[in-house]
Amino acid sequence: MRIVPSAGVALIPTVNNDIETTPAGASQTNYKYKAGAWNTAFITGAGFEFGTNKRTKFILNANYLKGLGNLDTKTINHISNGKSVTTSLKSNASSWNVSIGIPISFTKQKSGTVIKHCEKIMYQGKCGQHYKIYQQ
């Protein structure tokens, strides 16, 4: 078994607005808040390779993601029944991921170095009998 740790940063360059507004009449507006719309995140994890010698049989990965950017407090100010109303919204985003994989290779692997043993044949015998003696 081999353990391969990993850490990194994820970036989504174009994130839509967290709060969308749509008119719902002459004096009313509907608000739609998208929670967890992060644009940067920290990713950490570990991969576990199982196999024999240099041949991997299967891989098990476990990763954790924690959203960082664009998760600050959003404030909505509107007037309801003649009074000013302030609403604050904030979200957190995190996730876990576990995956298992089987490595597949489409290239031909080189065979290992083949060592050939040399045989030396020696003859010994008594009274005309010969025996083969193999040495390696």
Interval 99-132: pLDDT, tens: 999 988 888 766 666 666 555 555 555 555 555 5
Site of tokens 């008119």: 23
- For residue 18, what are the CA distances in angstroms to 8, 11, 87, 94? 25, 16, 14, 17
Residue 59 has pLDDT above 90, yes or no: yes
Cα–Cα distances (Å) from 29 to 115, 117, 132, in that order, read 82, 88, 102
Q: How many CB atoms lie within 10 A of CB 84?
A: 8
pLDDT at 41 over 60: yes
Q: Give the pTM.
A: 0.60
For residue 126, what pLDDT is reported? 56
